[in-house]
């Protein structure tokens, strides 16, 4: 896949977080988020949909987010557990692609709208 990379396209600053599971005060598991990087990114909407769940309409918008490669993105399974924050918006990452396996650009398939991470 040929991706044209222009650094000016990455005009958004996003925060990337990983889940951290700890034991709560009464012994149950508590999920929190830890920031691992703040990086420039390009955010492009790709599709949207609505669905009926629990008698309420929920909408979900899919995005492609392009960021520069970092070593923390080497394992696609780990990346799929991460989330991205952009302002008050939360994007759940579903998939990552190391473009041309060149360790330069990572394309993330992400969605927002159905939950809060």
Task: Kindly report, residue by residue over 33-81, the tens digit of the pLDDT.
Answer: 999 999 999 998 886 554 444 444 445 668 899 999 999 888 989 999 9
Distance from the first to the final alpha carbon of the chain = 30
d(CA 48, CA 97): 21
d(CA 95, CA 93): 6
For residue 45, the model assigns a pLDDT of 85
Strands 105-112 and 29-53: unpaired
- Averaged pLDDT for residues 10-27: 89
Q: pTM for the whole thing?
A: 0.76
Burial bucket for residue 39 (CB in 10 Å: 0-12, 13-18, 19+):
middle
For residue 52, the model assigns a pLDDT of 44
Task: Kindly report, residue by residue over 68-114, the tens digit of the pLDDT.
Answer: 999 988 898 999 999 999 999 999 998 899 988 889 999 999 988 66
> What are the chain's domains?
7-112 (2.40.10.270)
């Amino acid at each position: 896949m040929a991706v044209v990379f222009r650094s000016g396209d990455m005009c958004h600053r996003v925060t990337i977080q990983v889940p951290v599971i700890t034991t709560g005060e009464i012994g149950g598991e508590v999920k929190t988020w830890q920031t691992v990087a703040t990086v420039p990114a390009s955010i492009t909407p790709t599709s949207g949909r609505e669905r009926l769940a629990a008698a309420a309409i929920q909408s979900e918008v899919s995005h492609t987010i392009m960021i520069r490669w970092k070593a923390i993105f080497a394992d696609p399974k780990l990346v799929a557990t991460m989330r991205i924050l952009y302002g008050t918006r939360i994007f759940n990452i579903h998939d990552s692609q190391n473009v041309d396996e060149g360790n330069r650009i990572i394309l993330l398939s992400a969605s927002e709208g159905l939950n809060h991470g």
